[in-house]
Amino acid sequence: MTRHLRRTLGIIWFVTIGNVSILLAQGTLTNIAVQASNDSAGASAVYTITFTTGDGNGVDEGVPADGSILLSFPAGFDVSGVELVSSKNSNLTGGFLTPSISGQLVTITRDNTGNDVLKNTEVKISVAVVVNPNIVKTDSIDIETRSAADATIDVGSSPAFTIKHGRLDHFQVDISGNATAGDNFPVVITAQDVYNNIVTSHTAPVELSDITGTSSPSNSGNFIAGVCSVIVTFEKAIESNKITASYGNRNGSSSLFSVSHASLHRFVCDSIVSPRVAGSSFNINVTAYDKYDNRVKSYSDKVRLTDQSGSLNIFSDNFDQGSLTNQAVTITKTRIDNYITITDTSLNKIGQSNLFYVKPGNHSKFSINPIASPRTAGEWFEVTFFARDDYDNLYTDFEGRVSINNAAGGISPQESGNFSGGQWTGNVKVQTVTVNDAINISNLSGGQTGISNNFDVVPGQLDNFEVSTISSPQIAGQSFSITIRARDVAGNLVDSFEGTVSLTDLTNTISPSISGNFSNGEWSGDVTIKASRQNNRISVSGSNKDGRSNSFEVKHAGLDHFYISPISSPQTAGVDFSISIEARDEFDNIVTDFERSVNLSDLTGSISPNVTSNFNAGVRNENVRITKKFENNKITIQDTNSAIENASNSFQIKPNQVYQIVIRDYPGGFGDALGNLSFNINDQIQLFAAGYDQWGNYVREVESNWSATETLDSPSPDVGTMTTFTARTPYTSGNIVADSLGVVAGTTG
């Protein structure tokens, strides 16, 4: 018998026996439920199937003890491994034969050891192991119960159930095209299970990364139904990049794509070795970069190269693939903190090199800081000398000295101090007034030289007066010409001075005492000096400045008179005293060439000598003696050659010491000296002891001892400057004597 089981609309089954077909009615299974122990795609699961038997086919009902249950799984389910079947409630007892597998159909045959399940009875069985399809899908299982004769009893289909995605296994990262650094790049990330089903339950953000390590953001944001769309940017250009999404140990990467550079943003210069030498060419390398430090390979223009010293300003060669290689540059100015600036003027993009030092080239010359004009002669002013290379850079290694001179001469000092750091600053002064002067300097240990700008040297402020040389000798009282010039401290004529000066000399006899007004800094005029002097000088002063002439002699004029130095009074008769006589001219100057003798006389006629010895240089100091006392004596000097005579001052000649006594009849040296006298009895006479010096000059009355000689009556009193003699005794005679110790006694008669 050949049987053909064909599922129709779930209503009628046809059974063909031989050539006879019998149409049987069939029941409907109800309350069908399908429950998988794991409903994930691709998972192995135990399926529990519950149904309620129908009314049967009119012959059979329920599930006979030797009947079978047929389970038709949808395509995609793998039932090849189903081996175990068990009943899950008591409505069906007994066991099952090994399930029969045919394609998607699993036939479960009861082993006839259990009960017959009646109609309208709930049956609950489980089968293992069923492998779910790899895709997410919604489907149902067809169920059929049969008799041992293979007649359909009841049929039915389960409600739809869903095979869900499996656990998160990886991420699918979808991109479109290539990226540009810095531009938005859309990325779609899908959470998938091992069978690439979308894991819709995944909502957590994932970490994002790329090969360059510059992608942003690093966090995707939350997924929605297992999918996340995110805008990513990259900073690093790369030929082959990929985006990787990671969540724990789950990840996924995009296909490879390129990230091209962004637009030109700046230039970067390779490090420049320091120091460089001014005037010496060196090469630099420059790279064009976008804002993310990617080389802009498309850049092929020229750039302007400049530096901080101002000595570099050129256009470069063309870039190649965004690089400028071995570009020669020359910088001629030194700078400690120099750097090169790279500029694309059309795109307004720049770059700068590292700082580097440009040191000077070889020492080739000197320069001098500008000197203001005019300078004042004799006044110090500051200058700075610089050692320079060929490009006027300061040559800082020079520490030597230079000689200093100028066109006009008269500069000081003539040698600088040691340079420090290639320069020396010091003070110089120029003594000579000149136009277009210049300072020249020369290396004392090399051939380098330098010259300043031209400048004028003008007179300084009035410092002193210069008196022209005065010939010697000049004659007292005779005028002679002098020239006085106003000078600055350096001796230059101060031609702006137009004042006057006062004139003095060491004799204080110069005239005029004030000069006339200067003209163009000088005055010339005649002066007269009345007093002679061996080493005379003329001094001038004005405007708080002064000056003096050379030393010169002023000689006396001709003999005019004699001058006798004042003679002290009194002088003593008979005692030598010195007189000083000077031959003088009309200005009272000693006539030094007068060297002859002169006559001397006085009012007493007792002077000696009466002729001096010869004068010496116009002067004679002579010892003289006058023996006669005189109250107002004068000495007269007479030059017989010139008939010039002059008298001294008045002076007294007083008597010398008492030498002898003269008895007189009147006191004070008056009266007569008493000689031989005759007296009558009782005649009286007063006697006075007059003291005289040895020159016969009355000195004074002398206290004497009075006595009489022979028979003459004695005077009374017998002691005193005077006495009285009375003639008492007739016919007596003799002398009266006045005697005093140390003095020649006086006697009458």
Query: What is the per-residue pLDDT for 24?
Result: 56
Same structural domain for residues 638 and 709?
no
Same structural domain for residues 235 and 372?
no
Which segments of 474-613 are extended strands (E)? 474-475, 480-487, 502-505, 510-511, 522-529, 533-536, 538-542, 545-548, 552-555, 561-564, 571-572, 577-584, 599-602
Whether residue 460 contacts residue 376, with contact meaning beta carbons closer than 8 Å, is answered with yes
Read off the tokens for 71. 């389970």
Read off the tokens for 335. 């700078």
How far is residue 430's CA from residue 411's CA, in Å, rounded to a whole number?
4
Q: Point out the domain boundary residue: 410, 431, 458.
A: 458
What integer is the mean pLDDT of 204-227? 97
Residue 330 is assigned to a structural domain of this protein = yes
Query: Which of 204, 84, 64, 46 lies closest to 148 in space, CA to CA?
Result: 64
Same structural domain for residues 99 and 238?
no
Same structural domain for residues 539 and 518?
yes
Q: What share of the chain is helix, strand, coil (3-state, %, to 5)?
A: 0, 50, 50
How far is residue 245's CA from residue 247's CA, in Å, rounded to a whole number?
7
CATH number for the domain harbouring residue 526: 2.60.40.1930
Same structural domain for residues 152 and 20?
yes
Same structural domain for residues 445 and 574?
no
Residue 148 is assigned to a structural domain of this protein = yes
Residue 6 is assigned to a structural domain of this protein = no
For the cut 60, the answer to whether the pLDDT of residue 12 exceeds it is no
Considering the entire predicted model, what is its pTM?
Answer: 0.51
Which of 16-30, 109-123, 537-551 comes out lowest in average pLDDT?
16-30
CA neighbours closer than 13 Å in the CB half-sphere of residue 94: 20
Q: Point out the domain boundary residue: 427, 458, 489.
A: 458
Partners of 304 in the β-ladder: 315, 343
Determine the structural domain holding residue 587 and report its residue range.
561-654
Whether residue 170 contacts residue 157, with contact meaning beta carbons closer than 8 Å, is answered with no
For the cut 70, the answer to whether the pLDDT of residue 676 exceeds it is yes
Domains in the chain, number: 7
Same structural domain for residues 389 and 529?
no
Residue 3 is assigned to a structural domain of this protein = no
Same structural domain for residues 152 and 245?
no
Whether residue 540 contacts residue 547, with contact meaning beta carbons closer than 8 Å, is answered with yes
Residue 1 is assigned to a structural domain of this protein = no
Residue 93 is assigned to a structural domain of this protein = yes
For the cut 90, the answer to whether the pLDDT of residue 476 exceeds it is yes
pLDDT > 90: percent of the chain: 93
∠ Cα 315 319 323 (to 5°)? 120
Query: What is the per-residue pLDDT for 378?
Result: 85
CATH number for the domain harbouring residue 111: 2.60.40
Query: Tens digit of pLDDT for each residue in 381-416?
Result: 999 999 999 999 999 999 999 999 999 888 999 999
Query: Tens digit of pLDDT for each residue in 310-337?
Result: 999 999 999 999 999 999 999 999 999 9
Q: How far apart are the first and last CA of the chain?
A: 243
Same structural domain for residues 27 and 142?
yes
How far is residue 579's CA from residue 374's CA, in Å, rounded to a whole number?
67
Residue 519 is assigned to a structural domain of this protein = yes
What integer is the mean pLDDT of 179-202? 97
For the cut 50, the answer to whether the pLDDT of residue 247 exceeds it is yes
Residue 415 carries which DSSP code? B
Same structural domain for residues 577 and 611?
yes
- How confident is the prediction for the chain on average, in pLDDT? 94
Which segments of 375-490 are extended strands (E)? 375-376, 381-388, 402-406, 411-412, 423-430, 434-437, 439-443, 449-451, 455-458, 464-467, 474-475, 480-487
Same structural domain for residues 16 and 159?
yes
Residue 7 is assigned to a structural domain of this protein = no
CATH number for the domain harbouring residue 248: 2.60.40.10
Query: What is the per-residue pLDDT for 489?
Result: 84
What integer is the mean pLDDT of 653-673? 95
Could you check whether the bond before residue 413 is cis, i.e. omega within 30 degrees of 0?
yes
Residues 6+ apart with CB under 8 A from 273: 356
Q: Point out the domain boundary residue: 318, 337, 359.
A: 359
What integer is the mean pLDDT of 116-127? 97
For the cut 60, the answer to whether the pLDDT of residue 8 exceeds it is no
How far is residue 625's CA from residue 605's CA, in Å, rounded to a whole number?
11
Same structural domain for residues 325 and 405?
no
What integer is the mean pLDDT of 441-449? 96
